[in-house]
Amino acid sequence: MPVTVRTFASTSEAASALSSDRGARYLGGGTLVMRALNEGDISISTVVRATDQALSRIDVSSSRITIGAGVTFAKILAERDLAFLHAPARSIGGPAVRNMGTVGGNLFAPNPYGDFTVALLALDATVSVQGGLGARDLPVEEFLQSRERQSGALVLAVSCQRPASADAFRYRKIARIKPKGGSVITLAAHLPVSGGRITGARIALGSMAPMQIRARAAERVLEGRSFDDASINAAAAAAAEGVSPADSALGSAWYRREIVGVHLRRLLSGLE
């Protein structure tokens, strides 16, 4: 049975086409769906596309920025007002993949992919989803936990508050291969400091669990403390609490547990 390609002008039509057909997959940048088709994934019988311009819109007018699900990483890198997201965007693929891969698709990318989503998780981003029954917003963490059930839904956009200050948000992807390599561990931290105290600490990790997760123990350690070596070391010591990494071709669970604290410490203390 050949693959049917259905292209819609509106996201709502695309969303209902997706939710009404178990064999339908939404085609974003192609890095996931086209690869699956190339490799003979016959569970995909319909490819759904939407031409709605809203999907590729970036709104930076307010302190809360919104990025359409169809926005590519190259487009983010071209947007000066999104400088805080340049490091995560640049860490994905090579130039061609950054010209194709989208923010929305990254939410569905399994390990060792999905690095941009780690940044979104640390930024407490919100995901706007168009289901068969209408649109709704949900926190990215909740979205990830229910990701399997979201495959029938269409992601419209993600949005988040800008980090409190430039150095309040930090991101690093640990890869074996330079400059383009798959994630051994991906780390993102948003540590707003007010009155000399860290408030609302968020630390997110990629490749440390089946999904991107928050390092809650490390967050708790930092919450309310001053941003100094002592608290950094304490956070590093707590980094592996609650993680459940897997053995993979890029590194073992043991190795990831051993080094996650080292890399968190280096990230927070600004070391290479």
Partner 1 sequence: MLELRKDIFADERDDNLKEIGKGTQRQDMLGHVTGTSTYFDDHKLQGMLHLKVLRSPHAHARLRRIDTTEAERAPGVRRVIRGADVPVNLNTLLSLINFGKDDEPSLAVDKVRYKGEPIVAVVADSPREAYEAIAKVRVDYEPLPAVFDVEEALKSGAPVVNETYPKNTFVYHDVYDHQKLRFGDVERGFAEADHVLEQRYQMSPIEHAPTETNGSIAAPDTNGRYVVYTSTQALFFSLDTCAKILDVPSNTFHFVGGTVGGGFGGKVDTLTEPLAILGAMLTGRPVRYQLGREEEMQFGSPRGAERIFVKDGVMRDGRIVARKICAYFDSGAYTRLSSYAVVKCAAHLPGPYTIPNVHGDIYCVFTNRTPATAMRGFGVTAMDFALECQMDKLAHLVGIDPMEFRILNAYRDGDMKAHRREAKNTALIECVQVAAEKAKWPLREEAKRASSRKDGGGSRAAMSPTPQDPAPQRAAASQQRTSYDRAPPVVTQPPPPTPTPPPPRPQAPSHGAARFSSVFGTRRR
Partner 2 sequence: MTKTPLQFRHNGREVAVFVDGGVNLLVALRELIGDMTPKFGCGQGGCGACSVLIDGELHLSCLTLAEAANGRSVETLDGLKDGPNLHPLQRAFMEQFAAQCGYCTPGMLMAAKALLDRNPSPTRAEVVEAISGNICRCTGYEPIVNAVLAAASGGRARA
Partner 3 sequence: MARHRGRGIASINYPIGMNLGGDPSQALVHSNPSGKFTVSLSSIDLGQGMKSVTRQICAETLGVPVEDVYVDTADSDTGPHCMGSFASRGTHRVGNAVMAAAKEARGVMMEAAAEELEVNAADLDTDGRGNIHVKGAPHRSISTKDVAIAAQFKQGKTISGRGIFLVPLSEVNPETGEMSPATCYAHACLVAEVEVDDETGEVAMVRMDSAYELGRALNPRLVEQQLVGGAWMGVSHALFETPEPYYPDPAHGPRDFVEYLMPGPGDICPHDIAVLERPAADGPFGAKGPGEMCANPVLPAVANAIFNAVGVRMDELPITPEKVLRAIKAQGGARPQARR
Binding site for partner 1 (CB under 8 A): 1-3, 37-40, 42
Residue 251 engages partner 3 in binding (rule: CB under 8 A) = yes
Q: Which of 9, 83, 96, 166 binds partner 2 (CB under 8 A)?
A: 96
Q: Which of 28, 114, 163, 182 binds partner 3 (CB under 8 A)?
A: 182
Compute, in degrees rounded to 10, the torsion defined by CA atoms 63, 67, 73, 76. -40
Cα 179 from chain centre: 19
Task: Between 4 and 244, name the residue whose CB sits nearer to partner 1.
Answer: 4
Q: Which one of partner 1, partner 3, partner 2, none interacts with residue 42, CB within 5 to 8 A by kind?
A: partner 1
How many residues appear in the chain? 272
3-24 core/surface letters (b: 16 or more CB in 10 A; e: else):
eeebebeebbbbbbbbbeeeeb
Angstrom CA distances, 6 to 14, 61, 106, 137, stand at 8, 33, 22, 25
The least CB distance from residue 67 to partner 3, in Å, is: 24
Cα 261 from chain centre: 21
Task: Between 40 and 195, name the residue whose CB sits nearer to partner 1.
Answer: 40
Residue 98 engages partner 3 in binding (rule: CB under 8 A) = no
Q: Which of 19, 21, 30, 57 binds partner 2 (CB under 8 A)?
A: 30
On the CB side of 195, how many CA atoms lie within 13 Å of its CA?
4
Structure tokens at 253: 């669970």
* 3-class secondary structure, 14: helix
Q: Which one of partner 3, partner 1, partner 2, none interacts with residue 176, CB within 5 to 8 A by kind?
A: partner 3
Residue 7 engages partner 2 in binding (rule: CB under 8 A) = yes
112-140 core/surface letters (b: 16 or more CB in 10 A; e: else):
bbbbbbbbbbbbbbbbbbbbeeeeeeeeb
Task: Between 36 and 168, name the residue whose CB sits nearer to partner 2.
Answer: 36
Task: Between 5 and 133, name the residue whose CB sits nearer to partner 1.
Answer: 5
Task: Between 80 and 178, name the residue whose CB sits nearer to partner 3.
Answer: 178
Footprint on this chain of partner 3 (rule: CB under 8 A): 112-113, 176-182, 247-252, 254-255, 258-259, 262-263, 266, 271
